[in-house]
Structure 1
Amino acid sequence: MPVGRVLITGGRGMVGRNLQEHLLAAQWEVLAPSSADLDLRDYQAVADYVAAVRPDLVIHGAGRVGGIQANIAHPVAFLEENLAIGRNIIMGARQAGVRHFLNLGSTCIYPAGHDDPLTEDMILTGALEPTNEGYAIAKIAALRLCQYIRREDAGAQYKTLIPCNLYGPYDKFDPAHSHLVPAVIHKVAEAKRLGLDEVEIWGDGTARREFLYAGDLADAVWRAAADMEKLPDVMNVGLGQDHSINEYYAATAEVVGWQGRFTHDLSRPVGMKRKLSSVARLEAWGWQAPTNLKDGIAQTYSFYLKKAGS
């Protein structure tokens, strides 16, 4: 028998699919409606749906997402749509009497320009990175709303996990919409397929990023779902270590088997110089990511090849 019914928003995206394919998902009755089945931008539709299915837990992973190019080009949509989506599912769940809610945030909510690891108490203490400010504001609003609900009702387990950057199976590999690791996989794989001897890197490649394998996030989420009461109200989920962009390209080239050279376009935007999350709360909670970078890239590249061949 399942331990309960869980509603996953964003169930057709990378995080949602990895959640559903994780072994611990089998312990739950999982509902993961598509955007065609449930428009999260429509408050009444969301409220009616949650009231009808009455989940024991909501895992909120839906949202409009994209890389630097998409965020720069469409700031209105990234702010407005994500504000609506977060507000609608959180308040719809509260109205329906849902007592357990896991909100998935993003490290883009932290102030820009910090070289030291980002701790959870740094939220709203400084200016955001301009290239994805709209998305970050929406994510901060959802996090605060969960905190305010707990302030009014301490028994309501509305809590937020803040994953670092993610990659993995079901990622978006289109350069117009992808984040760093899937974009790198696509670029290097295309260079190998086309017989190119050169791949361009935006910036000088020294900016550092922390990327967590999506299957590892799924593991942390399901473990959190099993014991919401002991989970901190806000907690980073990351590696506590990062790599330079040049290192991501080098690791991907090794996995793909491409032996060309890299060039750098210094005129391109690169975002924050460094963004590393503190994992002190995560370690105290008793969890660490099991997948290393090369294994994660290899599994993601395998998915990429299957997708390209389908």
Structure 2
Amino acid sequence: MKILLTGSNGMVGRNILAIAPNYPHEFLAPTSKELNLLDALSVRQYVELHQPDMIIHAAGIVGGIQANMAQPVKFLVENMQMGLNILTAANDAGVTKFLNLSSSCMYPRDAINPLSEDLILKGELEPTNEGYALAKVTSTRLCEYICQENPERLYKTIIPCNLYGRFDKFDPNHSHMIPAVIRKIDEAKKSQQPEIDIWGDGEARREFMYAEDLADFIFYALDNFVEMPQNLNVGLGTDYTINEYYQAVAEVVGYEGKFKHDLSKPVGMKQKLIDDMKLQEFGWSYKTALKTGIQKTYDFYLSEYCND
């Protein structure tokens, strides 16, 4: 297939392209200058010009709690505009297959874990990333509506758990937890800091999957797209506490200092574990263990960020 990949310069996009040579597909991977997803007209023109067989929408404004709380307007408006623009352009141009990447932050903050796919819009969202979640809910629902109106369309959504891995950002203000912790602990080791602070009590639980595993899933989904459910969680089906992630990173990095808890800081949802029952039925499971993934991510960090 000829596949248009949005967000090709992001972590997920770069992991997809890294293993793409192993598969018989042609990828269009425009930069944001070549395809401005916030400009509806240019999106429409690009899709009509290139006529892809399928679109994988992996673009987005992403970040951790700090970034979401600091810029809720940007996280809501730009993510929603990108989703609406690419989905409507695809539908109008007759693109029959669309894989939409959403997020487990769509699930209600008080929902009972593990979080199953039928919980979307069944309760109040987590306030610390509500804008991002609303944008993701909108794209997910739009895929459903397009399929309702036109049964020939296969517009489906995957809902990954939290991700980390190669090509991630290691910026403490904008990155997700594991890359931020890798940088924080590596710098603490190098400067011989005796202790590191953890936001909250560290008992909140999170599920993190190595991003290359998500890329592997996406190629599996391409081969089995008709059978794939409309909305599908993609994750591990198991989680760890924030404290356990810090400890795992410390062991990989070789940091021997102590941890202290800053109880004044927000922690987000207490738990966010996806229900992987449909994923198991679909026939796919993750491959990379936590310590292995952290080691690979740390190696990438050392090679890409610590060479100057």
Q: TM-score range by the shorter chain?
A: over 0.9
Q: Where in structure 1 do 4 or more consecutive aligned residues deviate above 4 Å?
A: none
Distance 1:137 1:210 in 2: 21
* Residue equivalent to 1:41: 38
Give 2:19's aligned amino acid.
H
Give 1:295's aligned amino acid.
T
Which residue of 186, 189, 192 corresponds with 1:189?
A: 186
The more displaced of 126-135 and 16-25 is 16-25
What does residue range 1-150 of structure 1 map to in structure 2 within 5 Å?
A: 4-22=1-19, 26-150=23-147
Contact kept? 1:200, 1:262, Cα under 8 Å: yes
Q: SS where residue 172 of structure 1 aligns?
A: coil
Distance 2:22 2:156 in 1: 19
1:256-289, Cα deviation, whole Å (9 max, x unpaired):
1111111110000000000000000000000110
Which residue of 251, 254, 258 corresponds with 2:251?
A: 254
Distance 1:189 1:258 in 2: 7
Q: SS where residue 82 of structure 1 aligns?
A: helix
Give 1:238's aligned amino acid.
G
* Residue equivalent to 2:160: 163
Distance 1:168 1:53 in 2: 31
Q: SS where residue 198 of structure 2 aligns?
A: strand
Contact kept? 1:115, 1:275, Cα under 8 Å: no
* Residue equivalent to 2:149: 152
Q: SS where residue 5 of structure 2 aligns?
A: strand
* Residue equivalent to 1:291: 288
What is the CA distance between 1:176 and its match in structure 2? 0.6
What is the CA distance between 1:26 and its match in structure 2? 3.6
Which residue of 282, 289, 300 corresponds with 1:303?
A: 300
Distance 1:98 1:25 in 2: 24
What is the CA distance between 1:193 and its match in structure 2? 1.4
What is the CA distance between 1:228 and its match in structure 2? 1.1
What is the CA distance between 1:115 and its match in structure 2? 4.2
Residues 24 and 153 from structure 1, CA distance in 2 versus in 1: closer, same or farther, beyond 3 angstroms? farther
Distance 2:284 2:77 in 1: 34
Contact kept? 1:24, 1:222, Cα under 8 Å: no
Distance 2:33 2:51 in 1: 20
1:69-92, Cα deviation, whole Å (9 max, x unpaired):
111111111111011000001111
Distance 1:38 1:193 in 2: 41
What is the CA distance between 1:153 and its match in structure 2? 1.1
Give 1:95's aligned amino acid.
D
Distance 1:275 1:133 in 2: 15
* Residue equivalent to 1:217: 214
What is the CA distance between 1:225 and its match in structure 2? 1.2
* Residue equivalent to 1:199: 196
Residues 150 and 24 from structure 1, CA distance in 2 versus in 1: closer, same or farther, beyond 3 angstroms? farther
Distance 2:2 2:158 in 1: 20
Give 1:31's aligned amino acid.
L
Q: SS where residue 226 of structure 2 aligns?
A: helix
* Residue equivalent to 1:268: 265
Tell me the number of residue pairs that the alignment of Structure 1 and Structure 2 aligns: 307
Contact kept? 2:205, 2:242, Cα under 8 Å: yes
Give 1:141's aligned amino acid.
T
Residues 30 and 137 from structure 1, CA distance in 2 versus in 1: closer, same or farther, beyond 3 angstroms? same
Distance 1:127 1:176 in 2: 26
1:155-208, Cα deviation, whole Å (9 max, x unpaired):
211000000000001111101101111111111111111121211100010000
* Residue equivalent to 1:235: 232
Segments of 5+ residues of structure 2 without an aligned counterpart are: none
What is the CA distance between 1:24 and its match in structure 2? 6.1
Give the structure-1-normalised TM-score: 0.97
The alignment-based identity, stated in percent, is 54
Please provide the CA RMSD for this pair: 1.0
Give 1:156's aligned amino acid.
R
Contact kept? 1:196, 1:260, Cα under 8 Å: yes
